[in-house]
Structure 1
Amino acid sequence: MIKILRTDSENTDFVKLIKSLDEHLAEKHGDDHLFYDQFNKVDQIKHVVVAYENDEAIGCGAIKQYAPDTMEVKRMYTSPVARGKGIATNILTELEIWATELAYEKCILETEKRQVGAIELYKKNGYQIIPNYGQYAEIENSVCFEKEMIHIF
């Protein structure tokens, strides 16, 4: 059975999952990873979700305020052994519920064009492609998404 825990960035399971995520991205994307890594610092994130299966941490995600009405989805990851089970959708849904409870109107996010699985996940969950925002505005390898929270329930 999958258990979802709301926590923060000090959660040790979250820290371990993020380490695995960063290792995976560094191996897969080489020098590009250094650029993206500067925007993925997780210290002091107040809204983190960790998914557990049989008391083992298997996935995570976070949201942080981007604008007064907008949360940015960050650090989505599912361990390789847990992929294909809907864990990422469960995590994303919990983050969206949390954003709604906090009275945010939308969530935005960025992923790399090479992250085909992530792009499919976001589209499947109602995210729409938007122009690249903020630090990603001129980055050709980035694709950005948005979802209005008023449409999730």
Structure 2
Amino acid sequence: MDIRIDDLQGSAIQALLQEHLDDMHSSSPPESVHALDLAALRHQSITFWTAWDGDELMGCGALKQLSPEHAELKSMRTARTHLRKGVARAMLRHILAAAQARGFQRISLETGTPAPFVAAQKLYASEGFVECGPFASYVLDPYSVFMTKEL
């Protein structure tokens, strides 16, 4: 698996991100969807990675700087054809290592509460994330779980 920084120009990543947005909207009401679109992911505060097996896109993830000490995990997604192959865990560990190398002291995330998000919640918990309150501009929402990890 080759994980590398991505410029979001390729059709494969654009399709995967559209699938991600579509799935988020099918699982949560619009006001509870916090997935970022392509334009938002291109912001200078965000580093975006993709995972590849040769020419085949396996998944993606991003790190958003909130402050010099705090970052947010964003846009974690595994391509359907690569589910349960360790893509998400490898991407998460890659992003955690990058966050630590950049000097962040904490990384937080928001994920959903409906059934399709349970696997993500379990992954994050298994890597040391614990539930916390809303951070950054988030507010309490029955469709959101907030998690954080000290680095």
Q: Which residue of 1 aligns with 2:6?
A: 7
Q: Which residue of 2 aligns with 1:65?
A: 65
Q: Which residue of 1 aligns with 2:31?
A: 35
Distance 1:37 1:139 in 2: 10
Distance 1:70 1:6 in 2: 20
- Partner amino acid for 1:51? A
Contact 2:61 2:75 in 1 (8 A): yes
Q: CA 1:121 to 1:14, structure 2 compared with 1: closer, same or farther past 3 Å?
A: same
- TM-score, normalized by length of structure 1? 0.84
Structure 1 spans left out of the alignment, 5+ residues: none
Distance 1:39 1:58 in 2: 19
Residue 51 of structure 1 deviates from its aligned partner by: 0.6
Q: CA 1:84 to 1:39, structure 2 compared with 1: closer, same or farther past 3 Å?
A: closer
Equivalent residues in 2 for 1:85-100, closer than 5 Å: 85-100=85-100
Distance 2:70 2:138 in 1: 16
Q: CA RMSD in A?
A: 1.8
Distance 1:141 1:92 in 2: 22
Distance 1:36 1:14 in 2: 23
Percentage identity across paired residues of the two chains? 24
Q: Which residue of 2 aligns with 1:80?
A: 80
Contact 1:49 1:94 in 2 (8 A): no
Distance 1:144 1:38 in 2: 12
- Partner amino acid for 2:21? D
Distance 1:11 1:90 in 2: 23
Residue 93 of structure 1 deviates from its aligned partner by: 0.7
Distance 2:113 2:34 in 1: 18
Q: Please state whether the residue corresponding to 2:25 is helix, strand or coil.
A: helix
Residue 101 of structure 1 deviates from its aligned partner by: 1.4
- TM-score, normalized by length of structure 2? 0.85
Residue 104 of structure 1 deviates from its aligned partner by: 0.8
Q: Please state whether the residue corresponding to 2:50 is helix, strand or coil.
A: strand
Mean Cα deviation higher: 124-133 or 40-49: 40-49
Contact 1:61 1:74 in 2 (8 A): yes
Residue 79 of structure 1 deviates from its aligned partner by: 1.1
Residue 107 of structure 1 deviates from its aligned partner by: 0.6
Q: Which residue of 1 aligns with 2:25?
A: 26
Residue 38 of structure 1 deviates from its aligned partner by: 5.7
Count, aligned residues: 144
Q: Which residue of 1 aligns with 2:147?
A: 145
